Amino acid sequence: MIQPHNPYLFHVRFVTFPRHDLHMTTLLRANDRRLLALCAVLVVAALGAASASATTATVPPLGGNAKAGKTVFVANCGLCHALKAAATTGAIGPNLDKVILTQPLLVKAITLGGKAVMTKAAAAKYSVPMSAYKGTLSAKQILNASAFIFTATHK
């Protein structure tokens, strides 16, 4: 049963019609259709804003000594990666000034290798994959290097 139109309330009710060619939108008045369209636009905008804020949410850094990490970075990473803060110009891997990663992702990339945090398409761009440094660097050195990269790229 359809209730009388009330300009101050917006009700959506599901009604069973005897005819299959009738649609709910044909029963709505012009003002109701505009309000329904506005609500749909607002819902889509809200969902888009929520997903955008979820993807750009800041992840707190894990810690580590960025100053000590610079030394680790220059000695182990600078040959392949460019980073202005370290004055390195490596061109084998991604330019880290242009790739913004969270510190947990940086730790994962250094520990397990670059492919651990890249899509297959992104990894295919590079002829030489980044090595995993799990056995080469200590956990503290990896944390320090990630702290340096994180602070250098999040100013």
Q: Where are the domains of the chain?
A: 1-57, 66-153
Considering the chain, what percentage of its residues have pLDDT values greater than 90? 55
Q: Which residue has the tokens 């030394």?
A: 71
Name the CATH superfamily for 66-153.
Cytochrome c-like domain (1.10.760.10)
pLDDT band at 155 (very low <50, low <70, confident <90, very high): confident
What is the reported pLDDT for 144? 96
Positions of E strands within the chain: 82-83, 88-89
Kindly state the average pLDDT of the residues 102-111. 96
DSSP 19-54: -TT--HHHHS-HHHHHHHHHHHHHHHHHHHHHHHHH
What is the reported pLDDT for 117? 94
Kindly state the average pLDDT of the residues 30-37. 59
Task: Inform me whether the pLDDT recorded for 7 exceeds 60.
Answer: no
Q: How far apart are the first and last CA of the chain?
A: 60
What is the reported pLDDT for 8? 47
Three-state DSSP at 118 gives coil
Say whether pTM exceeds 0.85. no
pLDDT band at 108 (very low <50, low <70, confident <90, very high): very high
Task: Inform me whether the pLDDT recorded for 45 exceeds 90.
Answer: no
Q: Tell me the average pLDDT of the chain.
A: 78
Task: Inform me whether the pLDDT recorded for 124 exceeds 60.
Answer: yes
Choose among 98, 104, 135: nearest CA to 117: 104
